[in-house]
Amino acid sequence: MDILITGGTGSIGRVLCRALTEKGHRLTVLSRRPETVKAICGEGTAAISSLEDLPESAHFDTVVNLAGEAVIGPYWTENRKKVLWNSRVTVTGQLVDFIRRANFKPSVLISTSAVGYYGNGGDYIIDEDIPGSGGFAHTLCDGWENAASRVKEFGVRLCIVRFGPVLMSHGGMLKSMLPSFRVGLGARIGNGRQWMPWIHCQDLVGMIELLLGSSELCGVFNGVSPNPVTNREFTASLAHHLKRPAFLFVPAFLLKLGMGEMGQLLLDGQRAIPKRFQEAGFVFQYPSLDSALTEIIG
């Protein structure tokens, strides 16, 4: 297949691109630094710096939209919120506009979102039918998904994958956590009872590949493992795999003081499950946190 990918040079995108090129697919990657695409995504991968570079005659069988600046990062000032909005909602809108004007419509758009859409779910089990609520995180995800939904007007199948925190060796959540945990300074967040709906990167790639090849699948899917854990359990498991103690904790008020509104992302939890992927028969390589951490850390 000829596949257009946004966000292909990100930590998740580069794994997906390598997996797709190994299977013989032909990729075009949208990147702000197109000169780096071949080194990151594999030889033979084409690169563009703007969707405007694509003519109306461009032919793509499928489109995968992974674009988006990291949500956990600089303080959420109004300017930072605009950056997050533009990197997701605006770019997705531009992608849909390209599909609208393209002479040949792709068969499917796979667009990402996040479990932050649901807000703080407490201990309730959250599947794809649960409505979302909350603050800026929900507003951002809702706008992101609505921008993608316009593609259905052109007869294009739409799949939206709401990611949980992605576990991998070279990026994602663990990249920021491992340095402190390796020296015995790992800490739970707040009371540690908030749920963490994690996913191993290889399983996430497998989910996207399933959606690419299954013409009957459409709508919203939770891109999470079938076994979410609490932050307390995650902290203990990571420390165990690193053979280090983790007796510390970050009080909620300090997190809010230091991170402001962004800190609420770490205090809120979603006990999300991948109901629709399970119904589709998806087989997880890493269904438990122990199996995922064993593969990543050893």
Quote the pLDDT of residue 36: 92
Q: What is the pLDDT of residues 253-273, one digit of tens each?
A: 999 899 999 999 999 999 999
Q: Extract the tokens encoding 118.
A: 């649901």
3-state secondary structure of 250: strand
Q: Above 90 in pLDDT, residue 28?
A: yes
Give the per-residue pLDDT at 53. Answer: 86
The residue with greater pLDDT, 134 or 103, is: 103
- CA dist., res. 194 & res. 131, Å (int): 19
13 in helix, strand or coil?
helix
69 DSSP 8-state letter: -
The listed CATH number (3.40.50.11540, 3.40.50.720, 3.90.1150.10, 1.10.3860.10) that belongs to domain 2-167+197-226+271-284: 3.40.50.720
Q: Which residues pair with 64 in a beta bridge?
A: 5, 110
The per-residue pLDDT for 224 is 98
- Which pair of structure tokens corresponds to residue 282? 């998806």
**How does residue 133 score in pLDDT terms, banded at 50, 70 and 90?**
confident
* Per-position b or e across 236-260, b if 16+ CB within 10 A of its CB: bbbbebbeeebeebbebeebbeebe
Predicted local confidence at residue 274, as pLDDT? 98
Mean pLDDT computed over every residue of the chain: 95
Domains of the chain by residue range: 2-167+197-226+271-284
What is the chain's Cα-based Rg?
19
Confidence class for position 226, pLDDT limits 50, 70, 90: very high
Answer whether 285's CB lies under 8 Å from 205's CB: no
**Residue 32 has what pLDDT?**
86
Could you give the C-alpha distances from 110 to 1, 156, 165, 207, 254, in angstroms and in order?
A: 14, 10, 18, 11, 38
pLDDT, mean of residues 123-137: 94
In this structure, are residues 222 and 162 in contact, taking their beta carbons and an 8 Å threshold? yes
Say what the pLDDT of residue 298 is: 82
- Whether the pLDDT of residue 138 is over 90: the answer is yes
Percent of the chain with pLDDT over 70: 100
Amino acid at 78: E
